[in-house]
């Protein structure tokens, strides 16, 4: 990352604002919901091996909306089963929002929530320090591998926690998305060296293939309206640019050349389509499902 630029994740307030705007301008959560209701039930059908109690870990659970939808599908597939749910999320605000959401939802008595205000790597250290031996039936890592130093090691650790018939679900941006093209072009200028901010499912599948690890993958078509990014000084456009680049106050801190190059790339046919005066960015995601290590 260029030395003059600061990462958006350093300012949690602005990050949360830009993330909320991203959700409003994109079909991100809708494409996840389509996957959760149409494809995930088949993935969840085989877990548990007839047990009356299931262990679940959500890594980077955010405010919990997507978690609770997955837990609802799990409950439909395995009615009568109780669930121990480890929630791993470093943002106190997001964890608070998750707890509020749980308090407003009826019929969650079958779930015991354990709240962990920590990153994935802190949770890994905590798990090892506790010498925990319990095996886990379902682990999900939704849009979070960007924030770890070594995605391969993180995936290996959590896959190693799976019990018989357990499933690990990863959702990230697709290597074929606009994000993939943007990051391949501007990795050196935009991506932080101490985390894996520019990782896509293409990278994850490459290392799984190199190790001969079997997986299933599912494309999740998604798009995002980024038209406001092209109106100079537009407050929402600048928030979206911060989110797209993961750079704090990108418009004012990036060099004019970098800003112009990124805006040109965002408009490029490899990243976006232009329709009815709008610029629609390819926000495609991909889900990868892994079994217990054999």
Parse the chain into domains and list their residue ranges: 6-289
Distance separating alpha carbons of residues 3 and 167, to the nearest angstrom:
40
pLDDT in tens, 184-199: 898 888 876 666 678 8
* pLDDT score at 196: 62
pTM of the model: 0.91
Q: Which CATH superfamily is domain 6-289 in?
A: Vaccinia Virus protein VP39 (3.40.50.150)
* pLDDT score at 1: 52
Please give the span between the terminal C-alpha atoms of the chain, in angstroms, as a whole number.
38
10 assigned binding-site residue:
no
* pLDDT score at 294: 77
**Contacts with 87 (C-beta within 8 Å, 6 or more apart), sequence order:** 58, 61, 64, 67, 95, 98, 113, 114, 115, 116
* pLDDT score at 2: 54
Distance separating alpha carbons of residues 186 and 244, to the nearest angstrom:
12
283 assigned binding-site residue:
yes
pLDDT in tens, 14-45: 998 999 999 999 999 999 999 999 999 999 99
Q: Which of 146, 137, 163, 69 is nearest to 108 (CA)?
A: 69
Distance separating alpha carbons of residues 79 and 1, to the nearest angstrom:
48
Question: Between vectors from CA 75 to CA 51 and to CA 33, what angle results, nearest 5°?
Answer: 135
The DSSP secondary-structure symbol of 119 reads: -
* pLDDT score at 72: 97
Packed helices 92-104 and 65-77: angle between N→C axes, nearest 10 degrees? 50
Residues of the chain short of pLDDT 70, as ranges, are: 1-3, 192-196
* pLDDT score at 132: 83
Q: Which of 84, 68, 77 is nearest to 33 (CA)?
A: 68
Neighbours of 277 (CB within 10 A): 6
Distance separating alpha carbons of residues 47 and 42, to the nearest angstrom:
10
């Amino acid at each position: 990352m260029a030395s003059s630029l600061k990462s958006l994740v350093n300012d949690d307030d602005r990050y949360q604002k830009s993330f909320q705007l991203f959700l409003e301008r994109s079909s991100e959560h809708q494409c996840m919901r389509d996957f959760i209701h149409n494809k995930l039930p088949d993935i969840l059908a085989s877990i548990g091996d007839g047990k009356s109690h299931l262990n679940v870990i959500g890594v980077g659970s955010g405010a919990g909306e997507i978690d609770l939808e997955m837990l609802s599908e799990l409950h439909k597939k395995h009615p009568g089963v109780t669930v121990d749910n480890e929630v791993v999320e470093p943002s106190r605000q997001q964890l608070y929002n998750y707890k509020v959401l749980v308090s407003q939802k009826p019929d969650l008595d079958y779930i015991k929530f354990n709240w962990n205000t920590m990153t994935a790597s802190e949770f890994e250290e905590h798990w090892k320090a506790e010498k925990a031996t319990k095996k886990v039936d379902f682990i999900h890592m939704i849009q979070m591998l960007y924030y770890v130093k070594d995605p391969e090691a993180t995936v290996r650790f959590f896959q190693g926690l799976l019990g018989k018939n357990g499933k690990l679900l990863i959702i990230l941006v697709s290597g074929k998305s606009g994000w993939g093209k943007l990051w391949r072009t501007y990795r050196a200028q935009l991506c932080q060296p101490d985390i894996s901010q520019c990782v896509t499912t293409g990278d994850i599948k490459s290392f799984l293939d190199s190790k001969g690890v079997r997986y299933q993958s599912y494309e999740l078509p998604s798009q995002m309206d980024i038209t406001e990014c092209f109106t100079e000084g537009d407050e929402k456009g600048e928030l979206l640019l911060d989110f797209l680049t993961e750079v704090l106050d990108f418009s004012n801190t990036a060099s004019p050349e970098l800003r112009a190059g990124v805006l040109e790339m965002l408009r490029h046919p490899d990243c976006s389509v232009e329709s009815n005066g709008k610029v629609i960015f390819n926000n495609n995601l991909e889900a990868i499902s892994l079994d217990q290590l054999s």
